[in-house]
Amino acid sequence: MRRVRILGIGSPAGDDQAGWRVVDALRARLGARADVALDKLDRPGAGLLAHLEDATHVVLIDAVSSGAAPGTIRRVDRADWRNHAGGLSSHGFGVFDALALAEALGSLPPALALYGVEIGAAEPGDDLTPAVRAAVDELAARIADSLL
């Protein structure tokens, strides 16, 4: 049976909530579904690996800052995170590092999709900027469609 897990990654700082808000939007769209688990993670570091277990399909949504226009949605390929796993620091252990470690351990789920939402400002306490809010809705719709 297909077990889908959708993980929004972020922090409570402005646009960095993008991943969480996609999860909120999906929860509203999908309602309760036995085959889909939704979770919001706060900078999980290596703890992300535990969330990849027991799922056949994992969808990750995180904020990215690559210089593109805020609100740009990018599907990140395996080649991208393989090449960009960083220094494996304890303070900066990012999603790419966690995925590279999961791959080395043979712990990646059979299907994995990673979406990046290009963000603007990430000030603690701020809400999403309009461009990112629109991107959140668009990405939630896209992910919901893919689950039909």
Binding-site member from 66, 89, 111, 146 for other proteins (CB under 8 A):
89
Whichever of 28 and 104 has its CB closer to other proteins, that residue is: 104
Q: What are phi and psi of 115, to 5 degrees?
A: -110, 135
> CB 49 → other proteins: shortest distance, Å?
6
* Other CB atoms within 10 Å distance of the CB of residue 56: 13
Distances in Å between the alpha carbon of 107 and those of 57, 79, 99, 111?
A: 12, 17, 9, 11
Question: Of the listed pieces 23-31, 79-87, 114-122, 133-141, which binds other proteins according to CB under 8 A?
Answer: 79-87
> CB 50 → other proteins: shortest distance, Å?
5
Q: Is 88 in the site for other proteins (CB under 8 A)?
A: yes
